[in-house]
Amino acid sequence: MSWLPDCSIDRTFTSTFYFPHKATKTNQITHIYRNPIYLVKEYKQMIDNGQVKNQAELARINGISRARITQIMNLLKLSNNILKRIIQLGDPLSKRMISERYLRKITNESK
């Protein structure tokens, strides 16, 4: 059969790989944790100043759903005492001290 390749030809090759002995660490990424109350105040200010028309436009700009914006905006329903204490933590936070998800639970319990 003439269409079969000549199997007697040596087609073996060798490769050499060199790996460093120790893996070097790249620059570690530092996370920025936003205070959820500062974030919701920024969103509210954008709507009040007319930078965005409504929550739907705010959602489009941030690439999140309208329902998510509503969840975030509902944090303004927290009591003034809780809001003041969370604002005192500052923004940005050095570590995740408080999350929007936790605050949402408190908001839902107070209804």
Three-state DSSP class for 69?
helix
Output the pLDDT for position 62: 92
Measure the CA–CA gap between 89 and 3, rounded to whole angstroms.
Answer: 78
pTM of the model: 0.66
Q: Select the more confidently predicted residue: 21 or 110.
A: 21
Q: Which residues contact 39 (CB under 8 A, 6 or more apart)?
A: 72, 100
Q: Is the predicted pLDDT of residue 80 greater than 70, yes or no?
A: yes
Q: Facing residues of 93 across strands?
A: 33
Say what the pLDDT of residue 28 is.
Answer: 72
pLDDT, tens digit, 9 for 90 and up, residues 20-75: 777 666 677 777 888 899 999 999 999 999 999 999 999 999 999 999 999 999 99
